[in-house]
């Protein structure tokens, strides 16, 4: 089992980099020939040049979720009491704090980074390895930062949209960020890899259980083409996270760098002319 999961992880990484290289080649070919029909034009507008491959992976992920992950998550939620599930969620959230802290610092949010460090230390000690979220109760707010957001913060473009096996919607930038964040995830450096894989599996089931209600809403809202709905929802959410929920920064007004021009002379205001009084009897 351990070897199989390791092979799947390596295959996903190989697929990611092969697809990236293929994207560069596809872009060059389209630019050279200039022969692009309506589907290609639409895909470029959605930043989705790999749409046929992405759709195939989307179907695979959907079937995996429908027949494996969702039933397991339902069983997990039915058997495990809510307070225990909350503790499991807190535990894995605490393991993600080092990556959040580093990315907050890389974005220049040093106050948030200090808060993230305080959260990790407080919950790891007083919260018993993060099972209890003591930090939130003492005013240390939880933040949501990752390497994909950090790259976007510094102006790195998202690149083509990708659907990764097992991981779901992503893009070139966020795929690289996913790998980087994983290096800051403590289980990734455990000597006993079998324990690490058990932690990965438990986190996946816990995450899916928390999204059961959202998944039902998605099935109702997705309409005729859930692939497009998920793609656009993912891209909008990532843009919102990068801008911290606000609009994208407005471009700099280049006029501020131009030399001041002398103001045009204003025309003198004509003097007020008194109106003649009306004649008597008018």
Using pLDDT thresholds of 50, 70 and 90, give the confidence band for residue 48: very high
d(CA 2, CA 200): 12
Tens digit of pLDDT for each residue in 62-86? 999 999 999 999 999 999 999 999 9
Give the per-residue pLDDT at 91.
Answer: 97
d(CA 159, CA 27): 12
Backbone angles phi and psi of 149, in degrees to 5: -65, -40
Give the per-residue pLDDT at 223.
Answer: 73
Query: Residues near 252 by Cβ (< 8 Å), separated by ≥ 6?
Result: none
Backbone angles phi and psi of 175, in degrees to 5: -65, -45
- The top-scoring range by mean pLDDT among 16-25, 194-203, 272-281 is 194-203
Helix (H) or strand (E) holding 59: helix 51-64
Tens digit of pLDDT for each residue in 205-214? 999 999 988 7
Mean model confidence pLDDT for the chain:
79
b/e 54-87 (16+ beta carbons within 10 angstroms → b): bbebbeebeeebeeebbeebeebbeeeeeeebeb
Using pLDDT thresholds of 50, 70 and 90, give the confidence band for residue 159: very high
Residue 6 scores a pLDDT above 50:
no
Among 134, 149, 143, 136, CA closest to 96 = 143
Tens digit of pLDDT for each residue in 172-206? 999 999 999 999 999 999 988 899 999 999 999 99
Helix (H) or strand (E) holding 169: strand 168-171
In terms of Cβ atoms closer than 10 Å to its own Cβ (0-12, 13-18, 19+), residue 259 is exposed
Residue 25 scores a pLDDT above 90:
no
Using pLDDT thresholds of 50, 70 and 90, give the confidence band for residue 272: low
d(CA 46, CA 157): 14
């Amino acid at each position: 089992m351990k070897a199989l999961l390791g092979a799947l992880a390596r295959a996903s990484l190989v697929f990611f980099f092969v697809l990236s290289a293929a994207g560069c080649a596809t872009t060059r070919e389209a630019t050279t020939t200039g022969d692009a029909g309506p589907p290609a034009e639409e895909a470029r507008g959605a930043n989705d040049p790999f749409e046929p491959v992405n759709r195939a992976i989307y179907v695979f992920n959907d079937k995996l979720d429908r027949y494996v992950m969702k039933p397991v998550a339902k069983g997990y939620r039915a058997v495990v009491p809510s307070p225990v599930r909350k503790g499991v969620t807190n535990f894995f959230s605490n393991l993600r704090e080092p990556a959040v802290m580093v990315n907050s610092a890389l974005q220049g949010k040093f106050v948030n980074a200090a808060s993230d460090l305080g959260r990790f230390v407080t919950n790891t000690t007083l919260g018993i390895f993060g099972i209890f979220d003591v930090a939130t109760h003492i005013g240390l707010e939880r933040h949501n930062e990752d390497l994909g957001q950090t790259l976007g913060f510094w102006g790195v473009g998202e690149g083509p949209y990708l659907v990764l096996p097992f991981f779901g919607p992503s893009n070139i930038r966020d795929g690289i960020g996913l790998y980087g964040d994983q290096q800051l995830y403590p289980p990734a450096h455990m000597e006993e890899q079998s324990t690490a894989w058990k932690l990965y599996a438990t986190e996946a089931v816990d995450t899916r259980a928390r999204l059961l209600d959202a998944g039902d809403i998605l099935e109702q809202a997705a309409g005729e083409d859930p692939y497009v709905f998920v793609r656009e929802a993912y891209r909008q959410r990532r843009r919102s996270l990068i801008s911290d929920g606000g609009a994208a920064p407005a471009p700099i007004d280049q006029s501020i760098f131009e030399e001041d021009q002398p103001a045009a002379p204003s025309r003198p205001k004509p003097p007020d002319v008194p109106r003649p009084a009306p004649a008597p009897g008018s």
